[in-house]
Chains A and B, each alone.
Chain A
Amino acid sequence: MNKGTDPEMLEQQPKQAQKTNKLVKKLVLIVFAMFGFGFALVPLYDVFCDITGLNGKTNDTAAVYAADGVDTSRNIRVQFISQITSGMPWQFAPITKEVTVHPGELKLVKFYAKNESSQDLVGQAVPSISPGIAHSYFQKIECFCFNQQPLKAQEAVEMAVQFYIDPELPADITTVTLSYTLFNVTESVKQSVIAKN
């Protein structure tokens, strides 16, 4: 819009436009930065959960047994529970429902899974621990949850979890519950196989 012919105004217009451009650029930069921040929240959330145990996630790769011996003065109850998401026609349950261990002691428990459908399916178990703060003290040496579990139609399998509890576990925790949720990942596995070929 042209605003009159006041010489002062004419002089000011390019300056004004420059100022506007600079400010718009800054604001657009904020917009992109905040869009990036939205995605940065994903790893930030993981770090935050790692520190606080907010979402009860346990280690997803095998830990190395590194305890300095067994603390026989303490007994920790470890309970196992399982859940199956809808649309997953499997049986899935812990064979041992509960064990008592000393901190630092290695223990092996087994889960039973059976594909009750007439199709080959791939399952993925996702562990979660309660109370969440125990997550960094519960160390899995071996776990079926580290890998996907392909089961043929009607096939059954026993799956192992080997773990120990770090003796550093806060004294007020006497019971931990490890919960596994079983997901059907057959479709996404198929897709990634197709994508690879």
Chain B
Amino acid sequence: MTTDVLTDHHADHEDHKMTGIKRWLYTTNHKDIGTLYLWFSFIMFLTGGALAMVIRMELFQPGLQIVEPDFFNQLTTVHGLVMVFGAIMPAFVGLANWMIPMMIGAPDMALPRMNNWSFWILPFAFAILLSSFFMESGAPNFGWTFYAPLSTTYSNGSTAFFVFAVHIMGISSIMGAINVVVTIMNLRAPGMTYMKMPLFVWTFFITAYLLIAVMPVLAGVVTMVLTDTYFGTSFFNAAGGGDPVMFQHIFWFFGHPEVYIMILPAFGVVSTTIPTFARKKLFGYSSMVYATASIAVLSFIVWAHHMFTTGMPLFGELFFMYCTMLIAVPTGVKVFNWMATMWRGSISFETPMLFSIAFVILFTIGGFSGLMLAMTPVDFQYHDTYFVVAHFHYVLVTGSLFSIFAAAYYWLPKWTGHMYNDTLSKWHFWCSLISVNLLFFPMHFLGLAGMPRRIPDYALQFADFNKWVSIGGFAFGLSQLIFLAVVIKCIKGGEKAPAKPWDGAEGLEWTVASPAPYHTFSTPPKID
């Protein structure tokens, strides 16, 4: 009994929180930091979305309407950077911060102060990046892939801002990843063995290792771009003995694992939601873990499939083609496991489940177009067309983003203590689902017909499809405001959520009250 009294005393002491802005600036609480990450990523999502809206306005009709070609390039570049590093990645880190300690029965992240840092340097990174829009030289215009010599010899003067912004984003990601690894390896509750961890924890654990392995390579390559541009080195300058193609090799050595960094946590999310709403155990838990790990390992030996057209020995082309196709095997294992989980389950279609089912179908479409792109001979036709744009938006928007929505709806009751407005959330789902397909599906055909990406104008025969794509884009953008409304309503009030609002849910996070108390699992739970 004495322990109880003392714990209460401590709880009192610790709940003596700072107020106002200081609470958020100085916080080391994983739930506060998770919330910060999630809000930040949503703001970035709207920012990147606003840029995409301008892109779609320009492409609504053939010819140049509202923006100059150079500014169009700035829009596509910053849209990509903001969505990848500002929206998708921080959203997953936010989910990890909120959920991983609760899922493994830990009191907090292992390195709470570093956690505070890894979040609070992010806004500065994006302030640096976005401020370049208001400068004479303009924002980066060389594509989010910043190929040399576009970012070095032909840079518009924004390279330094870009490089330092990426450095800060990288440091933030690395610190976040180290924190996750240490938390998972050292703070699991007694009895929580590795093969008992929820799949979201597993996928983020593997993602964190990917981040630790490749973000430093990104830091290296942006440093080379910086010194090539401003300090006279010749890493990528043929006149000085360098090679611009080497840039692509180093960049994609980072870049390919990076795309799995953005999708593996999504696998974790739907592996959590689908069993819940199918009211069945996840089919093939251990095969899911091994599939995730093998995707992560394979991601290091496929990078050159992004550069088939740079000229490669035939052996190289075949090697990278077959390795890429090999990834379809563990990915297929996952898709079939999700289907098997739903098979003969008592499925109910709550909003998180709707987003998860949409994820499985639409992500698979993105996976199939990826297989098409992996074939070297046809890649020569698809390369740098809208087919590629369609492919990676299917995996990143209807893949990663839809899983983030699923996660948000799934855990909102735990975060806020209220149920979200069901009707509005269904509106959000159906509007998003219809508009996103109107937005991205015709892009496949545009690409097959030869419309190049990153160009502000196009041939007349593409006009009709582009009009529909733009309409889909505006509708999808507007649909996301419904999500904002749902979240704000849910925070402000709504039906009280029980500790476990989903009857099929499993996991430690549902054993604590809703909203989750500021401190959970100060004494670790026992797991059998």
Residue of A nearest to B213 (CB): A34
B245 with A55: CB separation less than 8 A: yes
Contact A24 B250 (CB under 8 A): no
**Which residues of chain B are near A4, meaning CB under 8 Å?**
3, 6-7, 10, 522-523
Tell me the bound Cα distance from A184 to B239 in angstroms: 8
In the complex, chain A residues 22-45 whose Cβ is within 8 Å of any chain B Cβ: 23-24, 27-28, 30-39, 41-42, 45
Best-buried of B3, B108, B220 by chain A (most CB within 10 Å): B220
User: Is B313 a contact partner of A35 (Cβ separation < 8 A)?
Assistant: no
Chain A interface residue count, Cβ-Cβ cutoff 8 angstroms: 45
Question: Given the complex, which residues of A lie within 8 Å of B235, measured CB to CB?
Answer: 42
**Is the Cβ of A31 less than 8 Å from the Cβ of B174?**
yes
| Bound: A192/B316 CA distance, A | 39
- Do B313 and A5 have beta carbons less than 8 Å apart? no
Cβ-based interface call for B240 (8 A): yes
A76, B334: Cα distance in complex, Å: 55
Q: Provide the main secondary structure of the chain B interface.
A: helix
Interchain nearest-CB distance for B301 vs A (Å): 14
Please determine whether B239 and A183 come into contact, CB atoms closer than 8 angstroms: yes
Contact among A31, A41, A85 for B212, CB-based, below 8 A: A31
Q: Check B186–A20 contact: CB distance below 8 A.
A: yes
A residues in contact with B288, CB < 8 Å: none
Select A41's contact among B185, B215, B218, B249, beta carbons within 8 Å.
B249
Which chain A residues border B243 with CB–CB below 8 Å? 45, 49, 55, 57
B232 on interface, CB distance cutoff 8 Å: yes
Chain B residues, CB < 8 A from A55: 243, 245-246
Q: Are A35 and B220 in contact (CB under 8 A)?
A: yes
Q: How far is the CB of A49 from chain B (nearest CB, A)?
A: 8
Task: Return the chain A residue nearest B13 by Cβ.
Answer: A2
Q: Which of B236-271 contact A (CB under 8 A)?
A: 238-241, 243, 245-246, 249-250, 253-254
B111, B221, B224: the one contacting A24 at CB < 8 Å is B111
For the complex formed, measure the closest distance between the CB of A20 and the CB atoms of chain B, giving whole angstroms.
6
Chain A, residue nearest B313 (CB): A52
Check B217 against A124 for contact (C-beta < 8 Å): no
Does residue A126 face the partner (Cβ distance < 8 Å to B)?
yes
Instruction: Point out the residues of chain B lying under 8 angstroms from A34, CB to CB.
Output: 212-217
Cβ–Cβ < 8 Å partners of B246 in chain A: 41-42, 45, 55
Query: What is the CA–CA distance of A181 and B232 in the complex, to the nearest angstrom?
Result: 19
Write out, one digit per residue, whether chain B residues 205-232 have a CB within 8 A of any chain A CB (1) or not (0): 0000000111111111100100000001
CB under 8 Å from chain A, chain B span 1-53 = 3, 6-7, 10, 14
Residue of B with least CB distance to A9: B523
Residue numbers in B under 8 Å from A3 (CB-CB): 10, 107, 522-523
Q: How far, in angstroms, from A184 to B237 measured CA to CA in the complex?
A: 12
Is there contact, CB below 8 Å, between B219 and A38? yes
In the complex, which residue of chain A has the Cβ closest to the Cβ of B238? A126
From B7, B185, B220, contact of A38 by CB (8 A)? B220
B64 contacts A by Cβ under 8 Å: no
Q: Which of A135-181 contact B (CB under 8 A)?
A: 181
Q: CB-nearest residue of chain B relative to A181?
A: B238
What is the bound-complex CA distance between A41 and B312, given in angstroms?
17
- Nearest CB of B to A176, in Å: 16
Specify the chain B residue showing the minimal Cβ separation from A187: B232
Tell whether A185 is near chain B: CB-to-CB under 8 Å: yes
Contact A126 B220 (CB under 8 A): no
Q: Which residue of A lies closest to B253 (CB)?
A: A41
> Any chain B CB within 8 A of the CB of A132?
yes
CB <8 Å contact, A39 and B220: yes
Contact A38 B10 (CB under 8 A): no
- B186 contacts A126, C-beta separation under 8 Å: no
Our pick among A5, A35, A45, A49 for the contact of B219 (Cβ within 8 Å) is A35
Cα A98 to Cα B519 with chains together (Å): 79
Q: Contact partner of A188 among B10, B14, B240, CB < 8 A?
A: B240
A60 at the A/B interface (Cβ < 8 Å)? yes
A6 within 8 A of B: yes
A126 nearest in chain B by CB position: B238
CB-CB under 8 A from B238, the residues of chain A are 126, 181, 183
- A1 at the binding interface (Cβ < 8 Å): yes
Given A35-B216, A41-B250: A124 in contact with B239 (beta carbons within 8 A): yes
Q: Are A1 and B178 in contact (CB under 8 A)?
A: no
**Distance in Å from the Cβ of B440 to the closest Cβ of chain A?**
33
Across the two chains, which residue of chain B brings its CB closest to A49? B243
Task: Flag if A1 contacts B217 (CB, 8 Å).
Answer: no
A191 within 8 A of B: yes
* Contact flags B184-200 to A (C-beta < 8 A → 1, else 0): 01100000000000000
- Closest-by-CB residue of B relative to A125 is B239
Shortest distance from the beta carbon of B68 to any chain A beta carbon, whole Å: 20
Is A196 in contact with chain B by the CB < 8 A criterion? Answer: no
Residue of B nearest to A148 (CB): B239
- The residues of B that contact A35 with a CB separation of less than 8 Å are 216-217, 219-220
A1 lies within 8 A of B110 (CB): no
Q: Are B220 and A5 in contact (CB under 8 A)?
A: no
Give residues of chain B (283-325) contacting chain A, Cβ–Cβ below 8 Å.
311-313, 316
CB distance from B1 to the nearest CB of A (A): 13
B519 contacts across to A, CB distance below 8 A: 1
For B354, the chain A residues whose CB sits under 8 A away are: none
Residues in B with CB closer than 8 Å to A126 are 238-239, 241
Supply 19 A–B pairs (Cβ within 8 Å), ascending by A.
Answer: A1-B14, A1-B519, A3-B522, A4-B7, A4-B522, A4-B523, A6-B523, A27-B181, A31-B216, A35-B219, A35-B220, A37-B220, A38-B219, A39-B224, A41-B253, A52-B313, A52-B316, A54-B245, A188-B240
User: Besides A23-B181, A33-B216, A34-B215, 18 other CB < 8 A contacts?
Assistant: A1-B107, A2-B10, A3-B522, A5-B3, A20-B110, A20-B111, A23-B182, A24-B111, A24-B178, A28-B178, A31-B212, A31-B215, A34-B214, A35-B216, A35-B220, A39-B224, A42-B235, A132-B313
Across chains A and B, which 7 residue pairs bring their CB atoms closest together, nearest first? A38-B220, A183-B239, A34-B216, A35-B216, A38-B217, A27-B178, A126-B238
